Amino acid sequence: NAGVTQTPKFRVLKTGQSMTLLCAQDMNHEYMYWYRQDPGMGLRLIHYSVGEGTTAKGEVPDGYNVSRLKKQNFLLGLESAAPSQTSVYFCASSQRTTTDTQYFGPGTRLTVL
């Protein structure tokens, strides 16, 4: 049982390049989330999904797109990376209740030059 895994762990991009971050969970969770973590700001929700084929915007969605084609996977895309997107990105998943624990992946450290 691997829990929540994220690929890749580290990435360096140039401004304007694109990339996709992959999140996978093996706990059969309905809900999945993408957060970014910046110093002094805690974690902020980018996008989330409440089931296969559904996605919704969170607090800071601009510049990102997501897809959830399979229940166990949640992809985060950057179409044209900007230095402001330099951050650590965390994926999380939970059961379909408002009080369930969110389980977090190990994070992806992204640097945009």
Partner 1 sequence: AQSVTQLGSHVSVSEGALVLLRCNYSSSVPPYLFWYVQYPNQGLQLLLKYTSAATLVKGINGFEAEFKKSETSFHLTKPSAHMSDAAEYFCAVSERGGYNKLIFGAGTRLAVHP
Q: Does 1 bind partner 1 (CB under 8 A)?
A: no
Size of the site for partner 1 (CB under 8 A): 28
Could you tell me the smallest distance in angstroms from the CB atom of residue 62 to partner 1?
A: 17
Q: Does 101 bind partner 1 (CB under 8 A)?
A: yes
Q: How far is it, in rounded angstroms, from Cα 3 to Cα 93?
A: 9
| Token pair in block for residue 99 | 């009080």
Could you tell me the smallest distance in angstroms from the CB atom of residue 48 to partner 1?
A: 6
Q: How far is it, in rounded angstroms, from Cα 88 to Cα 85?
A: 9
Closest CA to 105 of 74, 79, 59: 74
Q: Does 33 bind partner 1 (CB under 8 A)?
A: yes
Could you tell me the smallest distance in angstroms from the CB atom of residue 106 to partner 1?
A: 5
Query: In 3-state terms, what secondary structure has residue 83?
Result: helix
Q: Does 64 bind partner 1 (CB under 8 A)?
A: no
Q: Which positions ≥6 away from 1 have C-beta within 8 Å?
A: 26, 27
Interacting residues with partner 1 (CB under 8 A) = 4, 31, 33, 35, 40-45, 48, 50, 56, 58-59, 90, 92, 94, 97-102, 104-107
